Amino acid sequence: MRPDDPLIVQSDRSLMLHTVTALLDEKGQPRKDADGQPMTQEHPRFAAARDALASFAELEKSPDYLHTYRITPVSVWNAAAIGMTAEEIERTLEDFACVPVPRNVVEEVRGWIDRYGLLRIERRDGADGPRYELVARDPDALADVLGHESVRKLLRVEDDGRVWLDGLERGSLKQVLIKIGYPVDDRGGYLDGDPFAIPLRSQTRGGRDFALRPYQRGAAEAFHAGGSVLGGSGVIVLPCGAGKTVVGLSVMELVGTKTLILTTNTVAVRQWRNELLDKTELTEADVGEYTGDEKVVAPVTITTYQMLTWRRSKTDTFEHFGLFSSENWGLVIYDEVHLLPAPIFRVTADLQARRRLGLTATLVREDGKEDEVFCLIGPKRYDVPWKVLEQQGFIAEARCVEVRVPMDPARRSLYASANARGKFRVASENPSKTRVVEALIERHPEGRVLVIGQYIDQLVDLARHMKAPLITGKTHNTDRQRLYEAFRSGEERVLLVSKVGNFAIDLPEANVAIQISGTFGSRQEEAQRLGRILRPKSDGAGAVFYSVVTLGSREQEFAEKRQLFLTEQGYAYEIVAAETLVPEAAPAGGDPEVAR
């Protein structure tokens, strides 16, 4: 602990991390600029502190000079799941703190670490089949949870004090217990499922050499854990473009059983199918597609969340839930697990005897259900910071730029009279963005550009103005594939996409993304959209992610929240005023915004 260190730990478990420090002259005195203002530089320990805190704390705010984190039970339990100890967390806090770390914070972290695995579900095999027992390292903990009616009704306490549960209640019990602060270590084991070999190739069908990258192998092995009950459920967190699908294929090879894959849309289904056929020994008959176009159940079956959650009305049953029991699946893969719909949580609670793999670029959920993912899919098993893979050349180096555009004069009165939600939309659909988008595209004459937005009317108008193709949720899959292929080949250099472009688009050639509107303050969406351009480029070039927002508006406020996750990963947003790109964009009646 040194007075010039960057971190302040507060008793409410919030962490204040200074990003800059005063720039000193040769005499050790603060330097000042021409206006007499103190000059600053990045704090020499900021980057190291940022990377260390990301392992066990969540970033809440990221203004220029002071980032705010918070330590939560789930953030600590995920750290514990990958082997981090309370002592390591305490050492990290003390190493970067400039003032003493409050003892209550240390004690709370110790308490949460101790609670991870304090309760366990264990399988007992007998003549009548397997039974499941809830056991505790500390009898007081067991007594505590049995004092809750919501827990007690799921359990059976025998005269000898042993506590038993039905195998189908494993998920429900874990959901209830995590709500009262007890994450359960489920060692109840798994049904093996029907054996089905899924060997990886050493050479793709296209004739290219194929081998797992070290982190992909490490992720698969961390999940599998040698086939023991210590693994078999959990989440792998890797950046977009880092090959999460390949990690899934490697897990499938290790498990060697019939597999059900859930993903986001039909395009993603086809991409999974292509990867399976390209990089494994499976034949076309081995891989089934269960979508609106065709419903084939095979030893490896791929479907979408939308398909499984479809029903004729809100009161009807989910007609396709039978897919979960149609085969003796030994593995269920949840692609983009951060988007898992609530109905799938319910059915997943009944699937605790199946191995469950979640794949995602971010554990952030805008609905706050990180604890549901933790207890039903499993804890984080493997995580690699985005910047680490960038430095190793596995994902493209990316710049993030926020372009601030003045409000179109014709819309100022509309903005002023709108409610909070309306203000966001008016600002998002600011017509002044059109010329800025054109200027950005002109800056990258050789670039492959994705323009991504939230509002269909805005995208339709922009596509018509630019005479560029547009893909929305209503675009037929055949037309989507045709346009994606035209973009890959270079026939189309600019492609507009609605939020269907947030995920599962395999366009490695894309190196420029321009975001013109988004879903309020969605951190996961910001991460997914940057991910569209992170696949390594054949020439080793970097990528640029532009976010075009209306200056001084509700949209700018939400943009600051959207950027939190990427800031935590080490990305810095350069702020640019629109008039530096388009002189006529300077706001009328005042000085233009000065770019920072």
Beta carbons of 391 and 569 less than 8 angstroms apart: no
CB environment 204-220: b (16+ within 10 A), e (fewer): eeeeeeeebeebbebbb
3-state secondary structure of 546: strand
Per residue in 445-460, pLDDT (tens digit) is 989 999 999 999 999 9
Given a cut of 90, whether residue 549 has pLDDT beyond it is yes
Q: In terms of DSSP H, where are the helices of 24-136? A: 46-53, 73-81, 86-96, 103-115
- Across the chain, what does the average pLDDT equal? 89
With a CB cutoff of 8 Å and minimum separation 6, the contacts of 559 are: 402, 521, 547, 549
DSSP letter string, 524-538: HHHHHHHHTT-SPPT
* pTM (2 d.p.): 0.83
Looking up tokens 């793999």, which residue turns up?
357
Other CB atoms closer than 10 Å to residue 199's CB: what's the count? 11
Query: What pLDDT, in 10s, does the model give residues 33-46?
Result: 777 777 778 888 98
207, 211, 212, 213: CA torsion to nearest 10: -100
Higher-confidence residue of 404 and 4: namely 404
Winning range, highest mean pLDDT, from 401-405, 470-474, 561-565: 401-405
511 CB neighbour count, 10 Å cutoff = 25
User: What CA–CA distances, in Å, run from 487 to 108, 152, 438, 587?
Assistant: 52, 58, 18, 35
State mean pLDDT over 493-518: 86
Q: Which residue has the tokens 């350069």?
A: 574
Check whether 591 has a pLDDT greater than 60: no
Residue ranges and CATH numbers for the domains of the chain are 7-115 (no CATH), 119-187 (3.30.780), 214-384 (3.40.50.300), 390-585 (3.40.50.300)
Closest C-alpha to 514, from 421, 570, 581, 424: 581
CB atoms within 10 A of CB 280: 23
Q: Strands 331-334 and 259-263, how do they pair?
A: parallel
Say if residue 326's pLDDT is above 80: yes
For residue range 255-308, list pLDDT tens digits in order.
999 999 999 888 889 999 999 999 999 999 999 999 988 999 999 999 998 888
As a whole number of angstroms, the distance between CA 558 and CA 555 comes to: 5
The vertex-304 CA angle with 302 and 310, nearest 5°, equals 130
In which element (H, E) is residue 439 found? helix 433-443
3-class DSSP state for residue 162? coil
